Amino acid sequence: MSGRIVLRGVSKSFGESTIIRSLDLEIEDGAFVVFVGPSGCGKSTLLRLIAGLEDASSGRIEIDGADVSHVPPAKRGLSMVFQSYALYPHMSVRGNIGFGLKMAGMPREVIRQKVEKAAQILNLSDYLDRKPRQLSGGQRQRVAIGRAIVREPKAFLFDEPLSNLDAALRVQMRLEIAQLHESLRTTMVYVTHDQVEAMTLADKIVVLNGGRIEQAGTPLELYHHPVNLFVAGFIGSPKMNFLAAEVRSVGPEGVVVALAGGQEIAVPVMPGHLTAGAKVTLGMRPEHLRPADRGELVGEVAVAERLGGETYLYLRVPEQPLLVVQTDGGNATRVRERIAVGIERETCHLFDSEGRSLPRLLRHPLADMPRPTDSPS
């Protein structure tokens, strides 16, 4: 039994509006794939298409080699954890977890054993006879997960499961879900709008925007080699700084661009079709900008956000939008001070006038690293 999921030419329209345009995607068996993107990008819709809760307007969906495009959800062999947990309020925890098995017609004794085993794994053994309304948010979440696990599906689907939890609980549950994947090795498809969850949990991230896949790849691949402005701005927090620039010259060592203020930087990317004079966008992540005495960018600090471990300085640089610079927590720069920030050419990104990124000359060593926990199968 394999949890390999393949989508070919899948699209979805509701009446006049098209949510998902013809989309192709392959999810390997056992992978943890995260769909991420802004509100309305279609990630939840895509998940529901895989689940069978919606019919695709066109295209094919395959699970474990079989075409399930017209198969109802019950028969696809999947389990789903909903954002609101969707527990059955009139059933006990035991009833909730065992409901799917009851629907499958398993004998009562078997159901009892499986439910108790799942409860044990999830620390719910003491709560089996309680009703959902008597449980806390985290406990309800676990019941929802338990309900999904116990059916031993080919793949798990998670629809923003952590959105309703407070920050501390969210971190804890994130770890538990990661550990769950470790132990079960089942395919997991996870939807979230939180890119931190995406970065920490995923083997592969699929960035969606306006019903289209902008980029799909490992977390670090997306971080170091975003294919366009959208992905570059979406991944990484605080957001990447984007500065308008113009090409001065191209060569085998990269592209030399000039900023509005006249500063010139040589960016190590393949020139592609760029010529001198072309308008481009220079991207720099806040964590790659450092205060430096002779830095190229000079400006006045507008806001200083001190988190203790690090400090974000918002810089007003002439002729540029507000720049975000990440510095060490011990940095004592104050608002209205003028500082200079140095640009690291190796970590700069360059985007053409259409927002496409120019491929780097050197690929980052970690970008293609599989997660250390992936089984070599």
Partner 1 sequence: MATRHASALARTAIAPSALVLFLWMIVPLGMTIYFSLLHYSLLDPGNESFIGFLNYRYFLTDPAFFTALFNTLKLLGAVLALTVVGGILLALLLDQPFFGRGIVRLMVIAPFFVMPTVSALIWKNLLMHPVSGLFAWLAKSVGLRPIDWFAEAPLAAISLIVAWQWLPFAALILLTALQSLDQEQKEAAEMDGAPPISYFFHIVLPHLGRAITVVILIETIFLLNVFAEIRVTTGGGPGLQTTNIPFLVYAQALLQFDVGGASAGGIVAVILANIVAFFLVRMIGRNLEA
Partner 2 sequence: MARALSLRRRSLTAVVGWAVGLLLFFPILWMVITSFKTELEAFSTPPRFLFFDWTVENFGIVQQRSDYLKFAGNSIVLSLGSTLLGLAFAIPTAWAMAFAPARRTKDVLLWMLSTKMMPPVGALIPVYLLFKDSGLLDSRVGLIGVEFLLNLPIIVWMLFTYFKEIPADILEAARMDGATLWREIVYVLTPMAVPGIASTVLLNVILAWNEAFWTLNLTTTDAAPLTVFIASYSSPEGLFWAKLSAASTMAIAPILVLGWFSQRQLVRGLTFGAVK
Q: Could you list the residues that contact partner 1 (CB under 8 A)?
A: 52-55, 72
Q: Which is nearer to partner 1, 72 or 107 (CB)?
A: 72
Scanning residues 157 to 186, which ones bind partner 2 (CB under 8 A)?
none
Select the residue interacting with partner 2 from 65, 72, 262, 372 (CB under 8 A). 72
Tell me the closest approach of the beta carbon of residue 92 to partner 2, in angstroms. Answer: 13
Those residues whose C-beta lies under 8 Å from the C-beta of residue 56, and which sit 6 or more positions away, are 10, 11, 12, 49, 69
Enclosing H/E stretch for 359:
none
Name beta bridge partners: 233: none
Compute the distance between CA of residue 143 and CA of residue 162 in angstroms, rounded to an integer: 14
Q: Is there a contact between 186 and 156 (Cβ–Cβ < 8 Å)? A: yes
**Is-contact 245 264, C-beta < 8 A?**
no
The torsion angle over the Cα atoms of residues 11, 14, 17 and 18, rounded to 10 degrees, is: -10
Q: Which does 55 bind (CB under 5 to 8 A by kind): partner 2, partner 1, none?
A: partner 1
Of 236-265, which residues contact partner 2 (CB under 8 A)?
none
Least CB distance to partner 2 at residue 90 (A): 5
- Specify the residue for token string 């050419």: 345
Smallest gap from residue 377 Cβ to partner 2 (A): 28
Site for partner 2 in 102-131 (CB under 8 A): 103-104
Closest by CA to 298, choosing from 242, 343, 258, 334, is: 343
Strand partners, 302: none
In whole angstroms, what is the distance from residue 163 CA to residue 88 CA? 20
Compare residues 86 and 304 and give the one whose CB is closer to partner 2: 86
Please name the residue that has the structure tokens 């992978």: 31
Q: Which does 253 bind (CB under 5 to 8 A by kind): partner 2, partner 1, none?
A: none
CB of 70 to partner 1, least distance (A): 9
Task: Indicate the residue among 16 and 293 with the shorter CB distance to partner 2.
Answer: 16
Residue 182 CB, nearest distance to partner 2 (Å)?
24
Q: Is 43 left (phi over 0), alpha (psi -120 to 50) or beta?
A: alpha
3 state SS of 145: helix
- DSSP lists the bridge partners of residue 251 as 254
Q: Which does 230 bind (CB under 5 to 8 A by kind): partner 2, partner 1, none?
A: none
* Contacting residue, 4, 6, 18, 53, with partner 2 by CB under 8 A: 53
Q: Least distance (Å) from partner 2 to the CB of residue 151?
A: 7
The reply on whether position 66 binds partner 2 by CB under 8 A is no
Q: Peptide bond preceding 252: is omega within 30 degrees of 0, i.e. cis?
A: no
Rounded to a whole number of angstroms, the minimum distance from the CB of residue 150 to partner 2 is 10
**Binds partner 2 (CB under 8 A): choice among 147, 181, 225, 360:** 147
Tokens of 286: 């806040």
User: Which does residue 103 touch among partner 1, partner 2, none (CB within 5 to 8 A, set by kind)?
Assistant: partner 2
Least distance from partner 2 to the Cβ atom of residue 27, Å: 18
Which range touches partner 2 (CB under 8 A), out of 99-107, 180-188, 328-336, 357-365?
Answer: 99-107
Binding segment (CB under 8 A) for partner 2, from list 98-106, 196-204, 268-276, 305-313: 98-106
Residue among 74 and 303 whose Cβ is closer to partner 2: 74
Determine whether 372 is exposed, middle or buried from the number of CB atoms within 10 Å of its CB (0-12, 13-18, 19+).
exposed
Phi, psi of 110 (to 5 degrees): -60, -45
d(CA 292, CA 66): 58
Candidate list 79, 141, 192, 241; residue touching partner 2; CB under 8 A: 79
Binding residue (CB under 8 A) for partner 2 from 11, 18, 83, 164:
83
Residue 256, classed as helix, strand or coil, is strand
Q: Give the DSSP H or E segment for 332.
A: none
Instruction: Give contact residues for partner 2 (rule: CB under 8 A).
Output: 51-53, 72-75, 78-80, 82-84, 86-90, 99-100, 103-104, 147, 151
